């Protein structure tokens, strides 16, 4: 392991002479996110080799405009024949982790996925250009938090690094729930929950119907989304997220972001707000983002007065049927933590997600130090969580 003293001496020297390429052009900093052509960005997202709803232009620009602590973001960009072929929003390691390392970190887009946008017909070229710009800016590594580990985008990144004898280093990995929306919804639910649990949920739904007729509503147009968003925000703020102060409505900048993002995405058919209503009153609601053939279950809020009827689960059952009936959607990402008690039993497919260090030079101690620092941070947090769980038991 390289300690910080060794690193600072190393960084102030000439660096990895044996491996470092002398840039042909002066060092170039990543562009400010607001300087990137939105039209070019939208063309790229339509051609992406792998979807990421949280790096859609209308989503990430809304985050960058007002979300608390997530503004003023830059981006690595790759261009080919006048077209944008690669994009990764980034911040400095110092901003992300409070250490003065020459490393770039994917920008937090208020979502749980950092897969870069790479053109499907030029993924390797785009990855190579993103790395080249990062090197020219002085970066020695790129850190991805919550990146798709097994998709074509990471495969392209790995292939390009492998040409220089470099391998990514995985800090931590897990799997999270996803939906195979090409299947029949009733088969998905039966295989996931089993007949006994489905019978219990039907019983709860019948009891919920005693409070009024149950309907499932999907808001798609900007006007519908705008009219429904307040229901979602109110439900989210009424639960434990509101009590912890993490609900979107508890932070003015975050509420401004979600209002802008949902409205602009809906105008392009990339956002829906799903709501379960009882007697015309929303008891559960969620925001869904759509990119290419994948949907993203961003957040849900429920009316906890009806918690004994499992309104979040009831909503997710309807969402499952809705997505499986949509020929444009092949899969859905739950965006949830691993082992999520509500959605893991329902959506039984799994996405491999991880935190990864991508060194930009072979055998570079800066990348080694970055990996060591983030690994230590991760294990310290896990130990703290275990200690907290033990204390709660006593």
**Quick one: pLDDT at residue 243?**
82
Is the pLDDT score of 45 beyond 50? yes
Question: Are 383 and 319 part of one and the same domain?
Answer: no
Q: Which positions ≥6 away from 180 have C-beta within 8 Å?
A: 188, 330, 331, 349
**Quick one: pLDDT at residue 20?**
40
Question: Are 21 and 162 part of one and the same domain?
Answer: yes
How much is the average pLDDT of 239-247? 84
- Does residue 340 lie within any of the structural domains? no
Sort residue 331 into left (φ over 0), alpha (ψ -120 to 50) or beta.
Answer: beta
Domain count, the chain: 2
- Does residue 338 lie within any of the structural domains? no
**Quick one: pLDDT at residue 14?**
37
- Does residue 101 lie within any of the structural domains? yes
Is the pLDDT score of 19 beyond 50? no
Structural domain boundaries enclosing 13: 4-176+352-393
- Does residue 335 lie within any of the structural domains? no
Question: Are 112 and 144 part of one and the same domain?
Answer: yes
Question: Are 160 and 200 part of one and the same domain?
Answer: no
Is the pLDDT score of 24 beyond 60? no
Q: How far apart are the first and last CA of the chain?
A: 38
- Does residue 186 lie within any of the structural domains? yes
Q: Which positions ≥6 away from 148 have C-beta within 8 Å?
A: 50, 52, 113, 115, 154, 351, 352, 353
- Does residue 381 lie within any of the structural domains? yes
Contact 225, 277 (CB under 8 A): no
Question: Are 272 and 188 part of one and the same domain?
Answer: yes
Contact 160, 131 (CB under 8 A): yes
Which of the residue ranges 4-8, 58-62, 361-365, 370-374 would you say has the lowest mean pLDDT?
Answer: 4-8
Return the higher-pLDDT residue of 80 and 392.
80
Contact 44, 153 (CB under 8 A): no
- Which residue, 298, 329, 360, sits at the end of a domain? 329
**Quick one: pLDDT at residue 390?**
76
How much is the average pLDDT of 126-150? 97
190-231: per-residue pLDDT in tens? 999 999 999 999 999 999 999 999 999 999 999 999 999 999
Question: Are 195 and 143 part of one and the same domain?
Answer: no
Question: Are 191 and 229 part of one and the same domain?
Answer: yes
- Does residue 334 lie within any of the structural domains? no
In eight-state DSSP terms, residue 115 is: P
Question: Are 370 and 255 part of one and the same domain?
Answer: no
CATH number at 231 reads: 3.40.630
Question: Are 151 and 195 part of one and the same domain?
Answer: no
- Does residue 303 lie within any of the structural domains? yes
Is the pLDDT score of 128 beyond 80? yes
Question: Are 167 and 208 part of one and the same domain?
Answer: no
Question: Are 20 and 157 part of one and the same domain?
Answer: yes
**Quick one: pLDDT at residue 244?**
84
Question: Are 281 and 205 part of one and the same domain?
Answer: yes
- Which residue, 329, 360, 377, sits at the end of a domain? 329
How much is the average pLDDT of 25-32? 67
Is the pLDDT score of 33 beyond 60? yes
């Amino acid at each position: 392991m390289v300690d910080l003293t060794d690193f600072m001496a190393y960084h102030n020297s000439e660096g990895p002479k044996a491996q470092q390429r002398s840039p042909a052009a002066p060092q170039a900093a990543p562009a400010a996110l607001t300087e990137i052509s939105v039209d070019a960005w939208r063309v790229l997202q339509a051609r992406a080799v792998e979807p990421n709803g949280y790096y859609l232009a209308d989503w990430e620009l809304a985050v960058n405009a007002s979300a608390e602590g997530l503004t003023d973001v830059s981006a690595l960009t790759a261009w080919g024949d006048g077209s944008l072929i690669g994009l990764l929003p980034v911040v400095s390691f110092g901003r992300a982790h409070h250490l003065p390392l020459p490393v770039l970190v994917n920008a937090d887009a208020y979502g749980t996925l950092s897969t870069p946008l790479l053109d499907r017909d030029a993924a390797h070229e785009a990855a190579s250009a993103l790395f080249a710009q990062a090197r020219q800016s002085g970066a020695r590594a790129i850190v991805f938090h919550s990146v798709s580990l097994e998709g074509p985008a990471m495969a392209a990144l790995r292939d390009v690094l492998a040409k220089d004898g470099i391998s990514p280093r995985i800090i931590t990995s897990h799997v999270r729930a996803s939906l195979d929306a090409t299947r029949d919804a009733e088969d998905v639910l039966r295989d996931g929950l089993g007949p006994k649990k489905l019978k219990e949920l039907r019983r709860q739904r019948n009891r919920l119907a005693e409070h009024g007729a149950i309907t499932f509503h999907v808001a798609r147009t900007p006007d519908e989304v705008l009219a429904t968003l307040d229901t979602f925000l109110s439900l989210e703020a009424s639960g434990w997220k509101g009590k912890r102060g993490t609900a979107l409505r508890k932070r003015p900048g975050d509420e401004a972001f979600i209002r802008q993002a949902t409205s602009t995405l809906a105008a392009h058919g990339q956002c829906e707000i799903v709501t379960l209503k009882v007697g015309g009153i929303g008891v559960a609601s969620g925001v869904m983002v759509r990119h290419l053939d994948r949907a993203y279950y961003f957040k849900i809020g429920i009316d906890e007065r009806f918690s004994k009827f499992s309104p979040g689960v009831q909503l997710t059952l309807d969402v499952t049927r809705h997505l499986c009936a949509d020929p444009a959607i092949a899969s859905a990402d739950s965006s949830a933590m691993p082992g999520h008690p509500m959605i893991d039993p329902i959506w039984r497919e799994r996405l491999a997600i991880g935190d990864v260090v991508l060194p930009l030079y072979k055998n570079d101690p800066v990348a080694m130090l970055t990996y060591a620092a983030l690994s230590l941070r991760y294990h310290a947090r896990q130990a703290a969580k275990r200690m907290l769980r033990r204390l709660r038991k006593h």
